[in-house]
Structure 1
């Protein structure tokens, strides 16, 4: 069979693969783009775009239910149409996918191959009956939901398949008390479902500080979400024609919970098994992530791995930054690298929880000395005026340099507010400059200078 030769092959059309294809094409390269599923990857199809659309609808439902506290009464009871929400989500997704498709079709030097890409050698990839060859190969295959043992034969949903529901679940059981599980917990609780979250650990979002986990749990419990902690979920089974039963060990005591729907939110795994990486000689770690250096190079010359499959970040913004690193390298600047990134992300419960840099637990483990300050949202006028006083702001400053080392905001607008701290961190701005700044009134951000004025040594 004839081998088609390209300048570059990109496996996966996610948030790194697509912009890379357009960038290389603009430089005159002949590019092969391989996609086994829908164009756009996780973010467009089953991640950020659809879930944040649902978060927005759930927020509207919450606002209606809370309106009376702000002096607004409604005559009709709340009615949620998941079918309409689903249609809105599909419309937004289709618009994004169509934009990508149109962009590809407008480029004569991008050839789209639909199917699973598999290495047949260090420079060759097979896609169905096609054989492709290139000196540069970029892997952007993403990740998928991890299914834990004991639930293979149960009627369950993942964060992907639950987005196809057209009716609100009566009782949604969620296995996993981390970021994905908590977002869906609040979404469906606000849609009207009874929700139970089962977490095997002693607290939810275990990567966060203890008090942050407790704060988020209290916020969600106030909305009626139930939690089962220390729940070593052993197995599940179908119950009748429409229900499921989760059998678990909670602190040594066996328990059974029955519900109408089951969501497994137990982490994600890289889509690397079908790549045939062993035929290319590309190394992986024990979890299946492709090993890369600071510039996203694998151990094989000419092969790079971008996005979730390299284990260097599980976010759209880190995937896109991976593209920026490759772009910077190809352009000859060679300044951007993975290790320059500052950890930052947001948990899109409401109010959102956002982090940048280190947290208190990491500061305690460090040999450095830190200053710390926090401020409750209930003490901020703008939050009180909006009737959204849950959460707090927190900041850590390295004592010897005066640089901000970490920040956490949980409260109204937190996902945007964290950017102020993040900008100061990237700019290596001494905290006193931010402390002496004049912020707009009335806002939550105007209290950031006041927050920094209250810095005290972080005690163990």
Structure 2
């Protein structure tokens, strides 16, 4: 006979534990099932460990530039084992915090095993069968491994497995010139590896505007990172010096020989082994669980939160999924996925902060636009820090004065973008910012100025 719960949550990523906390506080009995590591991608292989490594790389890079700041230093060496030990402490502390919280939560029963549907209301966990009034899926996603020729004949890393690297690569070849690949490219270059980024498309991070991607490429190449674009036939083979990665670019050698390979080629949802067919839950062609604006699947008592629903591949969107579900079910407060404004950051140095539309998207919308830009060389804070790479760009609807989007590529850009995002959520015109008095000296103080210098898009 199965044990019955008011709610079953599958997955202890960003949304699941917080929802368990709200549901148990409301007096509901909750079963939370986690088959591997508490905390999900962010805690274990994503944000926290990678940004710990980014921080180490930034400190090392700054130390190498010490003379610019009047610091007398000798040659800066890298203790890669200590870099990885620091990273490991960050993620283990976070993981144990989530696990302890859940296991100490009143009215929450934690199962550490794989969960599969037996019916729309029943979940099998090993030999045990449990049932629930409501079921919440928070199963996340994993690295996608494309079917490149020869990929099964060589050793490679994904963004997850590279977290357990024990030696510094001599030459790390990164397949994929987007967010994950570029963060690893810069950090490992700063640790001392030779880096080649191979991208199938004509430019890096194709999702961004050309001026953003071109500036990012220049920043990375200035640090000695080699970029190979238009790689139409990526393939692999063993080589006496490591691994041969076939490129077939229009310029440059047809092969790159590296000691290690990182595949940073996207993600796929963890939905293929949940038995969703037995529950009648629909997925799209890529395997993402289909949900409505309230995160309900086609089966009304089953919800999907986080990366597995295809509505955001970020920690902040997963947490917002929890907030939407909790508000709608417990607070009588209607919140929707479509209320969300797209926002994210790329954590190279300097970082890219993004909110809303790109300029390319805004132009395609057919609106009459106003655009403002300012190089970071004209931002006092950036000059004082000696970090003047990048620029700010804002896009406004000329008729309604609505802020459509913004890109801040520069020191503090990931933080400064938030003030623009808040005005966008408040649905206030851009003039709200132009009349604001920001603190000097900061990066944010130039945001009113860049909005004050808007010009019609040509």
TM-score bucket of the superposed structures, by smaller chain: over 0.9
Corresponding residue number in structure 1 for 2:336: 337
The within-5 A match list for 1:172-251 is 172-240=172-240, 243-251=242-250
* Structure 1 Cα separation of the partners of residues 67 and 105 of structure 2: 54
Shift of residue 23, structure 1, vs aligned partner: 1.2
- Provide the residue aligned with 1:368 in structure 2: 367
TM-score normalized by the length of structure 2: 0.97
SS at match of 2:235: strand
Instruction: Describe the shift of the 1:372–1:416 C-alpha distance in structure 2 as closer, same or farther (beyond 3 A).
Output: same
Matched, 1:447 2:446: yes
Gaps of 5+ in 2: none
Distance 1:233 1:106 in 2: 52
Q: After superposition, where does 1:29-428 map in structure 2 within 5 Å?
A: 29-75=28-74, 77-150=75-148, 151-240=151-240, 243-251=242-250, 255-428=254-427
- SS in structure 2 opposite 1:125? strand
SS in structure 2 at match of 1:304: strand
SS at match of 2:232: strand
CA distance in 1, matches of 2:66, 2:252: 42
Check conservation: 1:81, 1:167, Cα contact below 8 A: no
Query: Aligned-pair distance for 1:105?
Result: 2.3
Contact persistence 1:122–1:279 (CA under 8 A):
yes
1:362-406 CA distances to partner (integer Å, 9 max, x unpaired)? 111012211100000011222111100100011011112112111
Worse-superposed segment, 269-278 or 63-72: 63-72
- Higher mean Cα deviation, 170-179 or 225-234? 225-234
CA offsets, 1:196-235, max 9 Å, x none?
0000000010000111110100000000000000012432
CA distance in 2, matches of 1:248, 1:118: 41
Q: Deviations over 1:222-273 (max 9, x none)?
A: 0000000001243212224x71111122139871111111000000000000
What secondary structure, in the 3-state scheme, does the structure 2 residue paired with 1:250 have?
Answer: coil
Counterpart CA distance in 1 for 2:166 and 2:82 is 8
The answer to whether residue 16 in structure 2 is matched with residue 17 in structure 1 is yes
Secondary structure of 1:415's counterpart equals: helix
Residue-pair matches, total: 456
Measured against aligned partners, the alpha-carbon deviations of 1:43-94 in whole angstroms (never above 9, x if no partner) come to 000000000000000000110111222222212x111112111111111212
Moved over 6 A (4+): none
Q: Distance in 1 between matches of 2:422 and 2:65?
A: 34
Q: Aligned to 2:288, what secondary structure does the other structure show? A: coil
430-439 or 354-363, larger mean C-alpha shift: 430-439
Deviates more, 1:180-189 or 1:358-367: 358-367
Residue pair 1:247, 1:254 contacting (<8 A) in 2 also: no
The separation in 1 between residues aligned to 2:300 and 2:277, in whole angstroms, is: 15
Displacement after TM superposition at 1:159 (Å): 0.6
Cα distance in 2 for partners of 1:397, 1:274 equals: 45
SS in 2 for 1:232: coil
The 2-side partners of 1:245 and 1:111 are apart by 49
CA distance in 1, matches of 2:332, 2:311: 22
| TM-score in terms of structure 1 length | 0.97
User: Aligned equivalents of 2:147 and 2:177: distance in 1?
Assistant: 17
2: distance between equivalents of 1:133 and 1:247? 51
Describe the SS at the equivalent of 1:219. Answer: helix
Structure 1: which 5+ residue stretches go unaligned?
none
Pick which of 190-199 and 326-335 moved more: 326-335
Structure 2 SS opposite 1:8? strand
C-alpha contact (below 8 Å) 1:82/1:165 kept by paired residues: no
1:280 CA displacement: 0.7
Q: CA RMSD in A?
A: 1.3
Matched residue SS, 1:275: coil
